[in-house]
């Protein structure tokens, strides 16, 4: 009789151990799922931020092209009424912004990069917006142009440096490009709801 009781006790212990192991494995599985979901969310957020950064860089590139193509440039009005998500208040070095030629540009990346299908659908979700001012002074004002004499060049040149090596001298004017990239189309992008990456580029235009 003692041996029989021992075997019944052993069976009960094995069942309890199996239930405990099942519970532990279930908890481990649930934890792994949560970790994987968190990692996926972090990677998606990182990718979205990186794409918004690329969009802001595209805005810088397009702004340089626009600057070089203009025959005359002047500081005009505050651009905020035209801006959707790249407001002047986003930039701490600005106190009074006067947009050059009142120009503000905003486009989705699919309008710049010629693609089709799923890649076009992906690029539609990212956009840039930029405005340009004279480089702000120490008080953040942009009404007055700052110029410098640089080595001469032929035609119009825009650069983030001033290494012009041809003969003679020219006057270079300092401009600052304020560009924002967003992980949404320009018409849908909102501060606080979307990822917005802000970039600033100081350039010198020699004409």
Instruction: Write out the chain's pLDDT in tens, 207 residues.
Output: 455 555 556 666 677 777 788 887 877 777 777 766 555 555 555 578 999 999 999 999 999 999 999 989 999 999 999 999 999 999 999 999 999 999 999 999 999 988 889 889 989 999 999 999 999 999 999 999 999 887 655 555 566 654 444 445 788 999 999 999 999 998 899 888 899 999 999 999 986
Token code pair at residue 19:
């239930």
- Rounded Cα–Cα distance for residues 46 and 38 (Å): 12
**What local confidence, expressed as pLDDT, does residue 39 receive?**
55
What is the number of structural domains in the chain? 1
Residue with tokens 């701490």: 92
Sign of the CA dihedral with 59 first, then 61, 62, and 67 last: positive
Identify the pLDDT of residue 167: 46
Contact 66, 107 (CB under 8 A): no
Residue range of the domain that includes 152:
2-206
Distance CA 207, CA 34 (A): 59
Res 13: pLDDT: 66
Token pair, residue 188, equals 């849908």
CA distance 87 to 179: 10
Predicted confidence at residue 164, as pLDDT, reads 42
Model pLDDT, residue 165:
41
Nearest to 60 by CA among 123, 131, 135: 131
Q: Count of residues for the chain?
A: 207
Q: What is the pLDDT of residue 192?
A: 85
Say how far residue 100 (Cα) sits from the centre of its chain. Answer: 22
Is 149 in contact with 169 (CB distance < 8 Å)?
A: yes
CB 181 within 8 A of CB 61: no
Eight-state DSSP code of residue 109: G
């Amino acid at each position: 009789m003692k041996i029989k009781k021992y075997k019944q006790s052993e069976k009960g212990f094995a069942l309890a151990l199996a239930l405990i192991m099942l519970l532990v494995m279930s908890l481990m599985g649930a934890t792994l799922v949560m970790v994987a979901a968190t990692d996926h969310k972090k990677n998606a957020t990182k990718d979205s931020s990186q794409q918004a950064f690329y969009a802001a860089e595209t805005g810088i590139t397009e702004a340089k092209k626009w600057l070089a193509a203009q025959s005359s440039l002047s500081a005009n009005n505050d651009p905020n009424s035209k801006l959707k998500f790249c407001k002047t208040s986003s930039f701490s070095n600005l106190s009074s912004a006067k947009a050059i030629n009142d120009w503000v540009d905003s486009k989705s990346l699919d309008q710049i990069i010629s693609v089709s299908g799923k890649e076009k659908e992906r690029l539609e979700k990212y956009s840039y917006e930029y405005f340009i001012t004279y480089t702000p002074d120490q008080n953040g004002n942009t009404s007055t142009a700052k110029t410098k004499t640089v080595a001469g060049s032929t035609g119009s040149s825009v650069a983030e440096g001033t290494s012009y090596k041809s003969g003679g001298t020219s006057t270079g004017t300092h401009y600052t490009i304020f560009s924002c990239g967003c992980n949404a189309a320009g018409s849908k992008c909102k501060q606080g709801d979307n990822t917005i990456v802000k970039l600033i580029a100081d350039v010198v235009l020699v004409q």
